Amino acid sequence: MGSYQNALARVPILARQFLSRHRGEKELRVILAACASANGFPLIGEAVAELTPDLTKRLLEDWRYQ
């Protein structure tokens, strides 16, 4: 396994360590985005990284009323 694959394999381990302590909203988004990307879902990772509280609220309001 190459260095890149080794690094990707470590993302979930590092994420668990980071999530064991209280994190802010931005840190949580970065951790979740990294996990999604490391597991082969880069578009989901990118979307999660961009979900600011305001954008999330607007998306949920649009979704609820459609």
Domain spans in the chain, listed from the N-terminal domain onward: 3-64
Interhelix angle 25-38/42-50, nearest 10 degrees: 170
- The reported pLDDT for the residue numbered 10 is 86
How far apart CA 41 and CA 18 sit, in angstroms, is 20
3-class secondary-structure state, position 29? helix
- The reported pLDDT for the residue numbered 19 is 81
Binning pLDDT at 50, 70 and 90, where does residue 1 land? low
Q: Is the CA virtual torsion 32, 33, 34, 39 positive or negative?
A: positive
In 53-64, which positions are buried (b, 16+ CB within 10 angstroms) versus exposed (e)? Answer: eeeeeeeeeeee
Per-residue pLDDT of 3-46, as tens digits, reads 888 888 888 888 888 888 877 889 889 989 999 998 999 999 99
